[in-house]
Amino acid sequence: MVAETYETTGAGAQPEGDFDAVVIGAGAAGLYALHRLRGLGLSVRVFEQGDGVGGTWYWNRYPGARCDVESWDYCYSFSEELEQEWDWTERFPSQPELERYFNHVADRFDLRRDIQFDTRVERAGFDEGRNRWIIDTSGGATVSARFLVSAAGCLSEVNKPVIPGAETFAGVQLHTARWPDEGVDVAGKRVGVIGTGSSGVQVIPQVARTADHVYVFQRTAQYTVPARNRLLDDEARQELRDSFAERQKFKRTTPAGLSRPVVPASSDLDAAARAEILEASWQRGGPGFAMTIDDILTNPESNERAARFVRDKVRAKVDDQAVAEKLVDIDFPIGARRLIVDIDYFETYNRDNVTLVDVKAAPITEITSGGLRTLDAHYDLDVLVYATGFDGMTGALLSMDIRGVGGLALRDKWADGAGTYIGLVASGFPNLFMITGPGSPAVFSNVMLSIEQHVDWIADCLAHMVEGGFERIDADPEAEARWTRLVEDLVARSIVGKTNSWWTGANIPGKPRGITMYLGGTHNYRAACDEVAANGYEGFTLTRPADPA
Ligand code: NAP
């Protein structure tokens, strides 16, 4: 396909490049999108705000950052050669290893030449006359593209709460997802950490090793289970190589997209058998704990038994029982928030240099030049770490000013909730595709497999358009409404999300509440997307240049 030249209709300069497709972000999704779309013969430009590839694994370089999906599943499956030549060293890959992997992928598939680093997409408006997106970037350049693909990520827009006095702090303040490349020396320092989600639980044991003292500001206690991370030996790697084809096939049939999923035991069990299964899962480690018995996420009694099991384990690990009780004071069902997977988290509270501060009982009131004040005390600090998470699912998309038909802003369309059709498109925003967008399984799955499935579906759709001479595709509002209702119904039937968290948008003031992930399983989601395509892109309107508008 030959790139054409179009004039911008926006107020900015003339386009400085005209592409078949612009991809936003060079993380796992953006890299694969570039590879696939380029393979169709399309001209593609990727804009990436960082100066390197890897997305999540580029930004989240705090000590202890590690994936909680096993390495043999948290990787691409589109290339057997790539899989065969890459050696994972651990069960759960660390941030440095993942960053190396994505750099290897970028080099191996010669992707860098189409990526423009240090460049944010600020605005994108759909030019209805030409059926093209006009895209303004942070560097001041304006480009145009027939198709716009967001690979901006569903956990990339940082949530940093505004705390009075933050600007007066004399020490170092930093967010886990913006950790500097050169690291931060906490040796001998007094460090405060706000937040005990996955990021906090990973960073706290690491900083505690060298800091003079660590104050953990915990607002909501969380369920966390041991990772039981381990090194992989040559035999394990060979076994993974040998089983490549079989694993790839199998994981596409499983709800979470994992090749070695936890197979839930039937709930028809007596108390002793239940305890035995939970113990075995605890010893195995990893995030499958709440799936160990098939009624944990649906039956409140079974859920409470599993929750009690975890609380008792924590009490046994923590020496000071007053501290243990604060750590297990959890008022929501297990599985209602994303289960955290930890390495030596609870054991860290047995160190003399770690103090748990309950900021639910005595909330944070201000940051001072010398530290942090709660309702009942002041904590002197040299370093303040915000492990306060992200504006999930919609944050990165809405951080850009995206305008569709009639100049409608995506922010306005989603003011009361992020409706999409099959999690990939939003009606009224033609030729815009979202990878791991709202209404898709996103991170409620092995996100690497979801990314590949989304990109493959989008690439097939674009190939269909090119072959059929279509230049515009838009979702029908009724189809979008039906899909959005399905997503909501699946959420309503589950324990998942029955408490405040980033999953429900409750961590961001003013954000509409509700889980916007498809909870029906990646295998069912894939089937639904495939059916839409097989039925001639049912629920979409495709338009050729000559067709009346
Ligand atoms: P998070 O789960 O949203 O946790 C944020 C933490 O900050 C919570 O403890 C929250 O308390 C606290 N917080 C926020 N604002 C606060 C305030 N004003 N005062 C006191 N506490 C405040 O964020 P995250 O830990 O970065 O994890 C987000 C997601 O990223 C995870 O669920 C996971 O999907 C992904 N992740 C995965 C890994 C991994 O693979 N192992 C690692 C890191 C992140 P409340 O709970 O009271 O709001």
From the alpha carbon of 506, which atom of ligand 1 is closest? Answer: 48
- Mutational pocket test of ligand 1: of 70, 156, 194, 503, the residue with most ligand atoms within 8 Å of the beta carbon: 194
Token pair of 263, please? 């197979």
Task: Return the residue matching tokens 């001072």.
Answer: 368
Token pair of 241, please? 């190589």
Q: How many CB atoms lie within 10 A of CB 27?
A: 25
Higher pLDDT, 317 or 14: 317
Task: Return the residue matching tokens 């386009």.
Answer: 15
**Beta-bridge partners for 543:** 472
**Do 340 and 198 contact (CB within 8 A), yes or no?**
yes
Residues with CB under 6 A from ligand 1: 66-68, 155, 161, 194-200, 202, 217, 219-220, 338, 341, 359, 364, 387-390, 443, 502, 507
Q: Which residues contact 60 (CB under 8 A, 6 or more apart)?
A: 95, 176, 177, 179, 199
pLDDT for res 81: 96
Q: Which spans in 42-161 are helix H?
A: 56-59, 80-85, 95-108
Number of H helices, E strands in the chain: 15, 20
Mean pLDDT, the chain, rounded, equals 95
Reported as a single tens digit per residue, the pLDDT across 144-198 is: 999 999 999 999 999 999 999 999 999 999 999 999 999 999 999 999 999 999 9
Token pair of 376, please? 């009942």
pLDDT for res 7: 35
Ligand 1 centroid to residue 8 C-alpha, Å: 41
Nearest by Cα to 22 from 161, 125, 162: 125
Q: Annotate 348-408 with three-state secondary structure.
A: HHHCCCEEEEECCCCCEEEECCCEEEECCCEEECCEEEECCCECCCCHHHHCCEEECHHHC
CA distance 401 to 21: 18
pLDDT for res 548: 57
- Residues of the chain above pLDDT 90, percent: 93
State which amino acid sits at residue 127.
Answer: D
Q: Which residues contact 303 (CB under 8 A, 6 or more apart)?
A: 296, 297, 333, 334, 335, 495
Reported as a single tens digit per residue, the pLDDT across 470-520 is: 999 999 999 999 999 999 999 998 888 889 999 999 999 999 999 999 999
**Do 68 and 286 contact (CB within 8 A), yes or no?**
yes
| 549: confidence class by pLDDT, cuts 50, 70, 90 | low
From the alpha carbon of 200, which atom of ligand 1 is closest? Answer: 25
**Do 138 and 120 contact (CB within 8 A), yes or no?**
yes
pLDDT for res 3: 33
Give the CA angle between residues 232, 234, 237 to the nearest 5°: 65
**DSSP 3-state of 331:** coil
From the alpha carbon of 60, which atom of ligand 1 is closest? Answer: 43
CA distance 155 to 162: 19
**Do 449 and 443 contact (CB within 8 A), yes or no?**
no
| 15: confidence class by pLDDT, cuts 50, 70, 90 | low
Q: Which residues contact 371 (CB under 8 A, 6 or more apart)?
A: 169, 171, 190, 192, 378, 379, 380, 381, 384
**DSSP 3-state of 287:** helix
Higher pLDDT, 134 or 8: 134
Q: What share of the chain is helix, strand, coil (3-state, %, to 5)?
A: 35, 20, 45
| 32: confidence class by pLDDT, cuts 50, 70, 90 | very high
- Mutational pocket test of ligand 1: of 56, 90, 95, 219, the residue with most ligand atoms within 8 Å of the beta carbon: 219
CA distance 227 to 284: 8
* Mean pLDDT on 389-414: 98
| 10, pLDDT greater than 90 | no
pTM for the structure as a whole: 0.95
Nearest by Cα to 37 from 5, 80, 4, 1: 1
Task: Return the residue matching tokens 């050669």.
Answer: 81
Token pair of 328, please? 């297990």
Ligand 1 centroid to residue 201 C-alpha, Å: 9
| 11, pLDDT greater than 90 | no
Reported as a single tens digit per residue, the pLDDT across 260-311 is: 988 899 999 999 999 999 999 999 999 999 999 999 998 999 999 999 999 9
CA distance 398 to 251: 32
pLDDT for res 547: 61
- Mutational pocket test of ligand 1: of 156, 196, 199, 215, the residue with most ligand atoms within 8 Å of the beta carbon: 199
Phi-psi region of 485 (alpha: psi -120 to 50; beta: other; left: phi over 0): alpha
| 90, pLDDT greater than 70 | yes
